[in-house]
């Protein structure tokens, strides 16, 4: 997930979200970038599987992870709503474009029919406005309004410049080591006031990997683990103040 840049396109129904995303994907692909997508379904009863199918029967019997494997498609069905960053671990593309995802500290494009539609989704992470309203105005509160049908190159130029790797999105109470919450830092990066490298969790003194996946830890937790391990290790023969200490716990 380290190289991925993530962008979310948000807006009310039929405001031009999917059309904007289609045009972004085509232009990024034309530029040689690989693209993945995530679609948020705003329907509580939504599920991919159908009642009564064999895979549904697996789920009803108690399976917590079900995979449907066909000749042309493999679908992994989790029985829960996963956090965005956990979903992104499955991606290795250059860009992931999300449709309708608002609970992530990523750069965003708002699509709308009118000013009210913009205002309902406007926050500091918005780098551009598009969709149907792009045929009526050129900018709004200093944010460029770009028509993805007629000026997709300019829109993707902006995406390449202002989108960034996903932030850890830890809870506001846990970190703020950079001076901001993840949401606040995401907005500052989108506005060009901070850099993605300002997130201190990119420079961890303690690295925790579970089954090969690195788990970000806030500085407070890192200090507890570091001081505990150093305190125990310093009593052992062979301990040195220089170099790294590696511990592998096998289960």
**In-domain check, residue 32:** yes
Whether 39 is covered by a domain: the verdict is: yes
The interaxial angle of helices 17-30 and 152-162, nearest 10 deg, is 80
Task: Give a yes or no: residue 194 inside a domain.
Answer: no
Q: List the beta strands (DSSP E) in the chain.
A: 5-11, 35-39, 65-69, 74-78, 95-99, 107-111, 126-130, 139-140, 143-144, 208-210, 213-215
Domain that holds residue 38: 5-48+81-162
1 has pLDDT over 60? no
| Model confidence pLDDT, tens digit, residues 51-79 | 999 999 999 999 999 999 999 999 999 98
How does pLDDT run across 173-220, given as a tens digit for each residue? Answer: 778 888 899 999 999 999 999 999 999 888 778 888 888 777 888 888
Q: Is residue 244 part of a domain?
A: no
CATH of the domain at 37: 3.40.50.300
* Overall number of domains in the chain: 1
Confirm whether 14 is domain-assigned: yes
- Within-domain flag for 168: no
- What the block records as the tokens of 195 is 């850099």
Question: Which of the 8 DSSP states describes residue 135?
Answer: G
**Rounded to two decimals, what is the model's pTM?**
0.83
In a domain, 187, yes or no: no
pLDDT digits (tens, 9 = 90+) for 228-250: 998 998 888 888 888 888 888 88
Using an 8 Å Cβ cutoff, are 232 and 248 in contact?
no
Residue 238 located in a structural domain: no
């Amino acid at each position: 997930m380290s190289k991925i840049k993530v962008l979310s396109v948000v807006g009310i129904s039929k405001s031009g979200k999917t059309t904007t995303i289609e045009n972004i994907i085509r232009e990024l692909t034309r530029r040689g970038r690989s693209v993945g997508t995530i679609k948020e379904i705003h329907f509580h009863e939504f599920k991919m599987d159908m009642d009564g199918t064999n895979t549904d029967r697996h789920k009803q019997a108690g399976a917590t992870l079900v995979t449907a494997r066909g000749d042309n498609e493999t679908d992994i069905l989790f029985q829960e709503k996963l956090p965005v960053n956990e979903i992104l671990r499955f991606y290795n593309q250059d860009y992931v474009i999300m449709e309708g995802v608002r609970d992530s500290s990523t750069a965003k494009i708002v699509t709308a029919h009118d000013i009210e539609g913009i205002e309902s989704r406007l926050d500091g992470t918005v780098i551009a406005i598009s969709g149907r309203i792009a045929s009526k105005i050129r900018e709004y509160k200093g944010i460029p309004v770009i028509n993805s049908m007629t000026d997709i190159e300019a829109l993707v130029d902006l995406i390449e410049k202002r989108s960034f790797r996903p932030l850890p999105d830890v809870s506001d109470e846990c970190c703020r080591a950079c001076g901001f919450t993840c949401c606040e830092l995401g907005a500052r990066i989108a506005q060009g006031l901070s850099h993605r490298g300002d997130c201190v969790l990119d420079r961890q003194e303690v690295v925790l990997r579970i089954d090969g996946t690195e788990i970000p830890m806030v500085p407070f937790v890192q200090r507890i683990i570091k001081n505990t391990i150093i305190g125990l290790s310093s009593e052992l023969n062979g301990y040195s103040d220089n170099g790294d200490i590696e511990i592998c716990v096998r289960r």
